[in-house]
Amino acid sequence: MKNIFGIFFDGKGLKKDNSLNIIRLFLAILVVYEHTAPLGGYKVNLDLFGKSVGAWAVYIFFGISGYLITASAFSNSVPQYLIKRIARIFPAYLAIQFVTAFIFAPLVTLLNGDSIAKLWETPVTPIGYFLGNSLLAIKSWGIGTTLSTNPYPKAWNGSTWTIWNEFLCYIIIVIIVSLIFKYKKIYIPLMAFLWLGLSFLSSHLPEVIKASGNGLIDVKLFVPLFAVFMAGSLLYTLRNYLRLNLFGGIVSLILAYFIIISFPNFGYQYAAPFILFVVFVIANKIPSPKWIKKNDLSYGVYLVAFPIQQLIAFALLKIGISIPFIVFAVLASILSIVVASLSWKYIELPSLNKVKGNNLTNQEKIDEVPAMPTETVGVTYRRSSRI
């Protein structure tokens, strides 16, 4: 009886030796799975509770990011924090944008029987694509007509739209933390207020969009994501009170379920802390391979998967063969993991080591990963299930 009681009720906060890396890699693979349908030209129902599985992956990833990035904001000076954020996001991001513009696009052009010079006669040239997108806010999705024969022809990397929104979350949370750092008593109530306020705004998006007008921030996309991010921030401020046990996980899952089915359009924001609680229980309980704990591939998979899937779709059309949906998804996942491993080893980890010194701990690796998207913006494929 005592052992059963312990299984259900014993718990502690989020352990440093957790399995968040493998969870986030799984979420990244879900995004690959989600993108396989439009990029491969498949018609597959990938919805869960009215949202795509990729949307749920983004939602959970943003919440995890809120927890970890808030921890970083509290643990570093503002300059140190910003340097770490830039070192985590930009090197790999710029690398994939460069490779897409100056290797993938010219390669596809040549295989189509056209001259590379043709790329420099289009409204968006390779250099225009790279420079226009280099500051995270996406200006151009395609390069000429390089993908005109693909099932999804308008974007080389439709995943990158959330990077800008993620970076905005980083900036806002460090401002909040710097303002309240000396006032510990308001940490929890303020984070709760911001999460609830943003969740409320998410349920009234038409009015918010009308009031905000046009600007650098697309409030239709940013507000719901920031609400989930702040749910993660709230859990961080509650970390000393959390007991991540099986009983709490079951209760949280039930509460989240009823909130989501009661408010299908925006319930996930209100359910966010409960779902994140479940995720953290899992992260504490399940084992993870040591290699995954030491090598965080989720950001790399997220960055490279979309263009890799476009290349697979292009190659299949050129060869004139078709493959089942699941084979496409598995092939894209494997290739993305391989490329992400190279990105982690030769770009991401060296960049982090450079700003932190060579004593980078496993937990610091875990703490530095930005969230990932599941769908494109500014192009045709914009699912109603987007979060």
User: Could you read off the pLDDT of 141-169 as tens digits, one per residue?
Assistant: 999 889 999 999 989 999 999 999 999 99
pLDDT tens digits, one per residue of 260-275: 999 877 889 999 999 9
pLDDT averaged over every residue in the chain:
88
Tokens of 8: 């259900």
What percentage of the chain carries pLDDT values higher than 90? 69
pTM of the predicted model as reported, rounded to 2 decimal places: 0.88
pLDDT tens digits, one per residue of 37-50: 999 999 888 888 88
User: Packing angle between helix 53-75 and helix 20-40, nearest 10 degrees?
Assistant: 140
Where residue 9 falls among pLDDT bands split at 50, 70, 90?
A: low
- Is 359's pLDDT higher than 60? no
What pLDDT sits at residue 6? 54
- Residues whose CB is less than 8 angstroms from the CB of residue 231 and which lie 6 or more positions away in sequence, other chains included: 63, 66, 195, 269, 272, 273, 276
Query: Residue 94, exposed/middle/buried by CB under 10 A (0-12, 13-18, 19+)?
Result: middle
Mean of pLDDT values over 210-214: 76
- Asked whether 203 and 176 are in contact (CB, 8 A), the reply is no
How many CA within 13 A on the CB side of residue 240? 4
Q: How far apart are CA 124 and CA 139, in angstroms?
A: 10
What is the residue whose two structure tokens read 């990105």?
343
